[in-house]
Chain A
């Protein structure tokens, strides 16, 4: 991550705004404010930091939080990859990439390994990310406890006191009623032994890769005006009982119809028989080209 160095002269930046859109859409003051919130988020892993979420050229709920995070941290030396459902060509990914690239002039890539910033909705790339990379996840609902409590004052208290027993009760009830824990995506995780977070919704498949990762993950929730972070080398534990193993998505005998993969997250591309395909399209393509 390279932080923009365009903050030398306030008057310069003010003057620049009169001539047209500034670098990375947002004005420098706004970007600085978002970066301050991000620093706080990194310092207190899993804590939802309020920030003055700006209205973006995309609607609330369409990645406005992830976009603000990306624009706040992007610099001229960055290379960006943007995916939606694992797909670089997803219609919303295309749109967000167009905005980031056109407002910054930085290069784009579909190769996860080449990107310094990867903005994503609902997936973590299959390639293992490294310490020089930042993953930005778009978050529709940042509050992991909303299913059990609606009052935001009470929610704030529960997080402050690490009072998560009702969350455990809901997992217990789920297991008793259904025989399994039915929470699918956005599985609640305890970060650094302290805060429970909503994991965007990424599928369960991706959860283990947040644990003790090499890379920094930043979560941006634009509509709810919160950012949070999982720094590298942080313990991330999906909430589950000691004797009820956490399960990831598996389909017996399924393989990608394109690359034959059985060890990536597969999506059911048409709902018909044997229509499984890798959700991470760039990874799938690379695998095919390697033969």
Chain B
């Protein structure tokens, strides 16, 4: 579509929209229903809900279809939708111990309190594209953990509770950050409370957060310990609000979350060498990579204590909508600013020819 000098906008915009809509919606293949997406592309839908900070599988599926599978665009659609909605209630804090555990991995101990549950995972599957014809018959023991519900959490002791009972964990439970910082109402900038960092990471773009972690492992500007994971859990948890009439706690729904505890070996001169510390990560949906990166960055940021720019990087550079939007704004017309830059190029050139205010210099003077 040509649009001369970025003008004549409206028709071009409408045509572009029509093109997207018709080629997407009128594609000869059967339309994709939301149950197909949540059922077959579950992790993609989860990722979008996590980065949007909005739990609604149906809307997220619709957003993914409208965005033709672009997860950043789908996230944008969900967040923009949220902007139009009033906030009706604030949920009551729930303890993660009350979640129904679907999967649990404890790398730190061989036999942790309670079960380890491999659950729904391809962690140990051979990464081979399955040739459909040779697929063995699927043989699911539907009584196995992960496929069932029940009292799996019986006897599960969180690793930080174990460490705490052994007096192996630094106690930094604190009173000065009692209400979670609401990053949707107040922008978080350093120095920010821990809850602001956690909220920011929970909504961060997954790839950005993983990169943030990895560049602190291998990049030029950071050093971050590899943590030992105490808990990696995927669970389902209640959402409770106070009933507006009865004033009682009422369950209004469930969300799935991934949560991670990262045990950190303290080795700094000014740190408690007799104990460990722990980082925490949690996000909406099943997204273990993100929660692990988050837990490790959480403790890294605490230990960094403002010495480096880590907190600023976490708070200000990991949001997918911010970075993608700003990157793409380069496509907008910039001819006014460019014109002004050209003006300065000529001004510099003229000044070089006529410069009298400074002693002549060898470098950069015009040969003429």
Contacts and interface: CB of A to CB of B under 8 A. Distances in A.
User: Per the CB under 8 Å rule, do A and B touch in the complex?
Assistant: yes
Interface of A: 13-14, 17, 21-22, 25-30, 33, 50-57, 59-62, 64, 84-87, 89-95, 98, 121-123, 140, 150-153, 156, 176-180, 182-186, 201-205, 223-226, 247, 249-251, 265-270, 279
B19 to A, nearest CB: 15
Contacts of B157: none
Nearest to B10: A94
Nearest to B364: A177
A201 B324 CA distance: 20
Contacts of A60: 321-322, 324-326, 329
Interface in B306-363: 306, 309, 312, 316, 321-322, 324-329, 332-337, 339-344, 347-348, 350-352, 354-355, 357-358
The range of chain B's interface size is 35 or more
Given A90-B7, A95-B9, A153-B306, A59 B186 contact: no
A266 B82 CA distance: 41
A255 to B, nearest CB: 15
A182 B268 CA distance: 46
Contacts of B10: 94, 98
Interface of B: 3, 5-10, 12-13, 76, 79-80, 82-88, 182, 184-187, 189-191, 306, 309, 312, 316, 321-322, 324-329, 332-337, 339-344, 347-348, 350-352, 354-355, 357-358, 364
A98 B11 CA distance: 12
Contacts of A204: 340, 343
B202 to A, nearest CB: 16
Contacts of A95: 9, 13
Contacts of A122: 334, 336-337
A17 B328 contact: no
B3 to A, nearest CB: 6
Nearest to B72: A59
A226 B188 CA distance: 11
Nearest to A153: B190
Main secondary structure of the interface of B (DSSP, over half): helix
A270 B339 CA distance: 11
Nearest to B320: A60
Contact of B9 (A13, A61, A90): A90
A21 to B, nearest CB: 6
Given A90-B7, A182-B344, A85 B187 contact: no
B130 to A, nearest CB: 38
B340 A91 contact: no
B348 A61 contact: no
29 contacts: A14-B86, A17-B85, A17-B86, A22-B84, A27-B84, A27-B86, A50-B187, A50-B189, A52-B186, A55-B321, A56-B83, A60-B325, A61-B329, A62-B332, A85-B6, A91-B6, A91-B13, A140-B326, A151-B312, A152-B316, A177-B364, A183-B344, A184-B341, A185-B336, A204-B343, A225-B187, A269-B5, A270-B5, A279-B336
Contact of B321 (A59, A93, A247): A59
B251 to A, nearest CB: 22
B339 A26 contact: no
B357 to A, nearest CB: 7
A179 B352 contact: yes
A182 B348 contact: yes
Contacts of A178: 348, 351-352
Contacts of B189: 50, 152, 156
Nearest to B342: A268
Given A28-B86, A62-B325, A180-B344, A55 B80 contact: yes
Nearest to B53: A55
Given A85-B333, A140-B326, A25 B84 contact: yes
B195 to A, nearest CB: 16
Given A89-B9, A91-B12, A140-B326, A247 B84 contact: no
Contacts of A270: 5
Contacts of A27: 83-86
Given A13-B86, A14-B86, A94-B13, A52 B335 contact: no
B342 to A, nearest CB: 7
A26 B81 CA distance: 10
Which of B6, B328, B334 counts the most A-chain CB atoms under 10 A from its CB? B6
A228 to B, nearest CB: 14
Which 8 pairs, one residue from A and one from B, show the smallest C-beta to C-beta distance? A179-B351, A60-B325, A61-B329, A94-B9, A55-B79, A225-B187, A59-B325, A54-B83
Contacts of A183: 344
A29 B82 CA distance: 13
B7 A203 contact: no
A121 B355 CA distance: 35
Given A55-B76, A178-B348, A91 B85 contact: no
Contacts of B348: 178-180, 182
A92 B7 contact: no
B340 A203 contact: yes
A257 to B, nearest CB: 13
Contacts of B84: 17, 21-22, 25-27
A176 B343 contact: no
B186 to A, nearest CB: 6
Contacts of B182: 52
A87 B7 contact: yes
Contact of A180 (B12, B82, B341, B351): B351
Contacts of A85: 6, 333-336
A98 B9 CA distance: 11
Given A28-B86, A121-B332, 18 more contacts: A52-B185, A53-B187, A60-B322, A60-B324, A61-B328, A90-B6, A91-B332, A92-B333, A98-B10, A150-B309, A178-B351, A184-B344, A185-B337, A201-B340, A223-B326, A268-B342, A269-B5, A279-B339
A49 to B, nearest CB: 10
Contacts of A140: 326, 329
A251 B340 CA distance: 11
